[in-house]
Structure 1
């Protein structure tokens, strides 16, 4: 994440000025027109609240909020004065109220601008291949804006920026409930979620009738726990996922509550590319393996993600857990008589 996310809100004008420059450069980024339009709609909702977003207006805005004094002066309106008269003429009380709300408004503006700027960087560095022609939903942006302005933590701002960039590219990718789940996460729970994504798996489906590969729903990521045992009995503690940590992830709405869950997989599933924590494993069968054996179904203990967990896994930067990878490869080899390539 940009180091600008660490700065005090006094420097909001610098972020706005930099954002103006990046918007000017946006025409040089190879993004479909609808994606650019979605980004400008996001800028409108999170930063400007006007219909159009001319760079000259953003520049004037940058000048207008160059320090806290100017920001606070925006709040001292005639309606505020009328309210002050109604509740008394204590000038110090009025001054404290203006100071409080001025600081809060500036902080919220800073948070929204920092996240929007980081989202633009995400868009600039990602592939537009999966973008659609759908426009981003205004209600979704309203909800996102109200959440984004409250998050000052750098790690959480990065997650929100990635989520916003993903929704701009492909509206509908992140359900409103997913945004609310992310809004409730603490940095510690977010890090634990990232770590459990590092041991999560995506396996393509296998259709034995047609002897062909099929895609599981939403790529259906899950955590294979079979090599370790029951997760509810601290079987994953050596990987950092004690029962307490797992229940925290459950309560956060990221993984499902059933620690007795299993999936029925064909042996042939393990001959397909298996994505584990961002890396791909590949196995091969020996010549002695029969078609009947490869089409056998076997139950495998797993932890399943919730819908929010599935969607948020997409924006997590995954780094495979080498200890888990080794255990998984040994388990596949011994259980299914397959060899790692």
Structure 2
């Protein structure tokens, strides 16, 4: 039996189903409007009454008040993330059976996240996991819990360089000085230290034929090589490779396409003497 105490009006059926799954796993959730305000008022009254009954004084009383206030804030954070995740789901989404251990691990890592923008990021993870169980590992969740807002924004910024090939692949160009264009070495080093990317001297995409296909934010692009040698059907992608954690974060980081960068990539590979050509399909 569900411990749910939530008005599900306004949510899609998949959204309501997600709330029920969360409630079964971790306990009661309240609607973040009148019901939540009522619940908070009742909780404040009950807390005062409980402390009074316990006849606590001095440091013991302050300790109990601090504990209850902390847990109340954690509950508020859990509910905010849960409702946002549920609202991300529409009627066409199929909800998978999320592992209860995963749910508990998830909320353990995000229950102290008070920042609203960071809560939105956590909500995206929860809704995506609901649609496809196993999309996010516990390791990725652990990393996300350590990020500050600047680091999260850097991951979002890096997403503009990521293309879809056989796997998610960043393509980084060099500027006239031989430095990585539009993203600094320090920024790349930060992403490397976080475990989002792996830096190297240079990486390539290897194709099985003279013609291949990649895409950039849904824009399909044909890759055609100008030689007949199988050993040369490779496309240089720069000095960074996404780690498994980085690939998972790219799904929910909120990145948007950068068409100026997109055109730079086209100009780079289509310049005279290039071993390949790009064409929008």
TM-score, scaled to structure 2: 0.81
* Corresponding position of 1:206: none
Q: How many residues align?
A: 271
| Superposed CA offset, 1:48-85 (max 9, x none) | 18xxx9x9xx998863432663263476398x66xx6x
Aligned twin of 2:267? 330
Which has the larger helix fraction? 1
Q: Secondary structure at the match of 2:41?
A: coil
Change (3 A) 1:270 1:110: farther
Structure 2 residue 6 is matched with structure 1 residue 20: yes
Q: Provide the residue aligned with 1:167 in structure 2.
A: 129
The SS at the match of 2:189 is helix
> What secondary structure is seen at the aligned counterpart in 1 of 2:219?
strand
> Is residue 169 of structure 2 the alignment partner of residue 235 of structure 1?
no
The whole-number CA distance in structure 2 between the counterparts of 1:137 and 1:106 is: 25
Identify the match of residue 314 of structure 1 among 231, 251, 258: 251
Q: Deviations over 1:21-72 (max 9, x none)?
A: 3x1344xx354xxx854441213445518xxx9x9xx998863432663263
Quick one: structure 1 residues 148 and 200, their matched pair in 2 at CA, closer, same or farther if it must change by over 3 Å? same
For 1:185, which of 133, 137, 147 is the aligned residue?
A: 147
1:225-264 equivalence runs, <5 A: 225=172, 227-228=173-174, 235-236=179-180, 238-239=181-182, 241-256=183-198, 258-264=199-205
Separation (CA, whole Å) in 1 of partners of 2:92 and 2:154: 28
Residue by residue over 1:232-271, the C-alpha shift from the partner in whole angstroms, topping out at 9 and shown as x without a partner, is x9822x41x2122112111222112x32241242385764
Give the Cα–Cα distance (whole angstroms) in 2 for the partners of residues 166 and 269 of structure 1. 36
- Counterpart selection for 1:298 from 223, 230, 234: 234
Q: Relative to total residues, which structure has the larger strand share, 1 or 2?
A: 2
Point out the more displaced range, 60-69 or 182-191: 60-69
Asked if 1:65 is matched to 2:40, the reply is yes
Shift of residue 115, structure 1, vs aligned partner: 0.4
Unaligned segments of structure 2, at least 5 residues: none
How is 1:105-124 mapped onto 2 (pairs within 5 angstroms)? 105-124=71-90
